[in-house]
Structure 1
Amino acid sequence: MFDGRKVLITGGGTGIGAAAAARFRAEGARVAVLGRRPAPLDEVAARTGALPLVADAADRAAIEDAVRTVVARYGGLDVVVANAGGHGLSAVGDTDDADWEQSLRSNLTSAFATVRAALPELVKSRGSVVVVSSLAGLFAGPSVAGYTVGKHALIGLTRSLARDYGRHGVRVNAVCPGWVCTPMADEQMDALSAAAGLADREAAYRRVTENVPLGRPARPEEIAAIIRFLASDDSSYITGSVTVADGGAHAVDLPTIALATT
């Protein structure tokens, strides 16, 4: 399906990005993984054969240079997976200017700058963009203002790009995962486990998914499969869409949880 296609994945060193790199490589794509930390990128490169690129996806000069490197190495660019993101874990009243700016930079500006740099090549290839937002792009969790606002804004970015560049053959879609077993989520589960006196990380995951219909978090590979679909010709008439992958969490009517007997 992806033989010879050129794919750039930001936030490609761990979690969903690393799983997406493995999936695209398994289907014959030429993949570059980009992130700020060399060690995880090198591990993904060793395991999958992807090209590691150390850069901040939100830095205009750095991401433009990375795109040029991919084009020079592979001869073009067909798919961008805008997966880079970060924290923003405080309520509005507890968020200072620096934290707010960093939250938006890591969660929103990273995708904006990456796609902007890649657009000329994507127009040439009539390519595809998959933006990784979050269930936090649709709903608000407690004390995650920066993260929530950034992930909501990614959906607006997705729709704006789809509206403006569909006429050039470029498709842009978003995926909104719920809980996924990634290093960032693991950190949150460890903190929850300690705060709530739970036995371990697995107990914390069970706690946060106890009202999710499927009753478990996702594996990164499950989200990678959705990214692969949205980037593929199998979704050739889909653009501007938001795919929710949360085990059914968004289907739950919160005020009725207390009425559940099983």
Structure 2
Amino acid sequence: MMKVDLGGIGVLVTASSRGIGFNVARELLKRNARVVISSRNGDNLRKALDELSSYGEVYGVRANLFSQKDIENLVKESWELLGGVDALVWNAGNVRCEPCLLHEADYIDWIEASALHTVAPGYLTTLLVQAWLEKKRKGVLIYLNSVSIKEPMPPLVLADVTRAGLVQLAKSVSRTYGKHGIRAHSVLLGSFDTPGARENLRKLAEERGESFERVWEREVLSRTPLHRTGKWSELGSLIAFLLSDEAEYMLGSTVVIDGAMTKGVFL
């Protein structure tokens, strides 16, 4: 299949020094986007930039997504580096206590989850929408989410509850600002092979006294008829399509990419 050519649009990808964010940034660079990546870890950010620089025009901004000042600076610097931000691909890491069950979570864990999965993307959206309206520019927002908000995974309860609102955010943005050329989408991901996913499964395996391989097989591979995780090229193609004008009428949509991992019908 021919890759979508993104024609040099400027895209900000958050939490992108490794894992999902890093691989999405790489796929977008392959499709001729100009990209700003971010991380709160300076060493990881520099390493990611070194790896991605051969794929296209990429910049890095250090940002802690828990910090209002850092989020504001991330938008300001990204705008300057790219000559304007055309799109955001929102991604976030794990809450520190996860995997943890509901009865194991403290008050501060709920605060952290809310700040990371609700406040940060919400405020970043506010800043970008304000800029697009002021400058009379179009914009696209893509929130990377998880199918577990529809079919919960108990060890990820904090993330599942707090990031479920991203679906409503995408719909609200699209209904309110679609007439201005600003649209949003929520993408519900199934299993992708990332360092974070492996770290979570390793913790579960240790708690259960099982081997990592057995837990990975049962909790990840065997949950889809394809018996594999998602490919980065598949996710990259989906996101590139959503960023393109071809997806304009899909504004506000929730898109699932999970290899039929989930069983329910989403209403």
Match of 1:260 in 2: none
Is structure 2 residue 141 aligned with structure 1 residue 137?
no
**Alpha-carbon offset, residue 166 of structure 1:** 0.9
Match of 1:99 in 2: 109
The alignment-based identity, stated in percent, is: 26
Which of residues 239, 245, 254 is equivalent to 1:227? 239
AA in 2 matched with 1:27: R
Contact preservation (8 Å) 2:11, 2:87: yes
Match of 2:73 in 1: 65
Which of residues 209, 214, 218 is equivalent to 2:230? 218
Residue ranges of structure 2 left out of the alignment (5+ in a row): none
> 1 CA distance for matches of 2:241 and 2:205?
35
Give TM-score, length-normalised by structure 2: 0.86
Over aligned residue pairs, what C-alpha RMSD do you find?
Answer: 2.0
Is structure 2 residue 11 aligned with structure 1 residue 7?
yes
Residues paired across the two proteins, number: 252
> 2 CA distance for matches of 1:246 and 1:20?
16
Contact preservation (8 Å) 2:188, 2:255: yes
Which of residues 159, 180, 201 is equivalent to 1:147? 159
Match of 1:205 in 2: 216
Which of residues 124, 131, 147 is equivalent to 1:114? 124
* Secondary structure of 2:262 counterpart: helix
> 2 CA distance for matches of 1:243 and 1:41?
29
> 2 CA distance for matches of 1:139 and 1:63?
31
Match of 1:24 in 2: 28
> 2 CA distance for matches of 1:16 and 1:222?
12
> 1 CA distance for matches of 2:189 and 2:164?
13
Give the 3 Å change call, closer, same or farther, for CA 106–149 of structure 1 in structure 2. Answer: same
Match of 1:78 in 2: 86
Contact preservation (8 Å) 1:77, 1:125: no
Contact preservation (8 Å) 1:137, 1:154: no
> 1 CA distance for matches of 2:59 and 2:83?
14
> 1 CA distance for matches of 2:232 and 2:116?
20
Give the 3 Å change call, closer, same or farther, for CA 216–107 of structure 1 in structure 2. Answer: same
Residue ranges of structure 1 left out of the alignment (5+ in a row): 254-262
* Secondary structure of 2:239 counterpart: helix
> 2 CA distance for matches of 1:143 and 1:51?
35
Give the 3 Å change call, closer, same or farther, for CA 236–187 of structure 1 in structure 2. Answer: same
> 1 CA distance for matches of 2:207 and 2:104?
20
AA in 2 matched with 1:117: L
Deviations 1:79-128 (A, max 9, x none): 10011232254333332211100011112222112211211334433111
Match of 2:50 in 1: 46
> 1 CA distance for matches of 2:164 and 2:141?
17
**Alpha-carbon offset, residue 175 of structure 1:** 0.5
AA in 2 matched with 1:8: L
AA in 1 matched with 2:51: R
Bigger shift: residues 189-198 or 92-101: 189-198
Contact preservation (8 Å) 2:183, 2:251: yes
